[in-house]
Amino acid sequence: MKDAFGLPQSLLVLGGTSEIALATARRLIARRTRTVWLAGRPSPGLDEAAGQLRGLGAEVRTVAFDALDPAGHEEALGKVFAEGDVDMVLLAFGTLGDQAHDERDPRAAVRVAQTNYTGAVSSGLVCAGALQAQGHGSLVVLSSVAGERARRANFIYGSSKAGLDTFAQGLGDALYGTGVHVMVVRPGFVRTRMTAGLPEAPLATTPEAVAAAVELGLRRRAETVWVPGALRVVMSALRHLPRAVFRRLPV
């Protein structure tokens, strides 16, 4: 069960090798979390992540999960929920793609959309149903500021996150009053493997900062969390810029 500060005792991570997810898991293990499920494609990386969290004192298990295989989601995740209550699900999988390449290769672009959006719709709904049946739990969805406004540099990724974000907001409204809390997290540029080699955007942040923001959001039962918080103001200004101006911005 969650405690009074919204901190979970059991955690399911979808996208078990995500650096943001692992930073969040580490932070939660330091507080209340004792059981962690890492869901992801079986790989040495997944096992290594599990081992690392075990070293912190948590009981960690892995489960084979592929965002690109929605047909398998019900079975894979059903197995986790059958083992006991899950206090928090962290939906953390996603791919950035390669904008320039993906524009030329529509099938690669579709793969980004299918991972980030379709995979999230499917697994998100499976988890939401299970959380609703147990009457409690938080579904934390890692969105992105990229979903807030289309940018020339990453609009394929951005559009998939826009879809994910809208889906998660609606799901949160649908689950209002059911004991299930949906929280959308919108980080800006996070220094991770995914962004390695990319030019750093202003207000760049770290996985640990996202993890801290997630913990704060859980305590406040927040519906939306920006990381860093200043992005809320920045994006609300940018959202209202005329497109002709926005297009010329070096963002």
Partner 1 sequence: MPADTVSVTGWGRTAPTAARLIRPRTYEEAALAVRDCGARGGIARGLGRAYGDAAQNAGGTVLDMTALDRVHAVDADGGTVLCDAGVSLHRLMEVLLPLGWFVPVTPGTRYVTVGGAIGADIHGKNHHVSGSFSRHVLSLELLTADGRVRTVVPGTPLFEATAGGMGLTGVILTATIRLLPVETSLMCVDTERAADLDDLMARLADTDHRYRYSVAWIDLLARGAATGRAVLTRGDHAPLDALPRRTRARGEPLSFRTTRLPAAPSFVPEGLLSRTTVGLFNELWYRKAPRARTGQLQRIPAFFHPLDGVPHWNRVYGRSGFVQYQFVVGHGREDALRRIVRRISGRRCPSFLAVLKRFGDADPGWLSFPVPGWTLALDVPAALPGLGAFLDELDEEVAGAGGRVYLAKDSRLRPDVLAAMYPRLDDFRALRTALDPRGVFTSDLARRLHL
**Residues at the contact surface with partner 1, assessed by CB under 8 A:** 1-7, 9, 31-32, 85, 132-136, 177-180, 219-221
Q: Which is nearer to partner 1, 32 or 111 (CB)?
A: 32
Q: Which is nearer to partner 1, 136 or 232 (CB)?
A: 136
Q: Which is nearer to partner 1, 35 or 160 (CB)?
A: 35
DSSP string computed for 54-102: HTTT-EEEEEE--TT-GGGHHHHHHHHHHTS--SEEEE-------HHHH
User: CB count, 10 Å around CB of 173?
Assistant: 11
Active-site positions read 157
Q: Report in angstroms how near the CB of residue 208 gets to partner 1 at its nearest.
A: 16
Q: Report in angstroms how near the CB of residue 232 gets to partner 1 at its nearest.
A: 17
Q: Report in angstroms how near the CB of residue 236 gets to partner 1 at its nearest.
A: 21
Q: Which is nearer to partner 1, 219 or 247 (CB)?
A: 219
Nearest to 188 by CA among 234, 222, 223: 234
- List Cα–Cα distances, 218 to 22, 109, 205, in angstroms: 17, 33, 19
Q: Report in angstroms how near the CB of residue 187 gets to partner 1 at its nearest.
A: 21
Nearest to 24 by CA among 182, 209, 172: 209
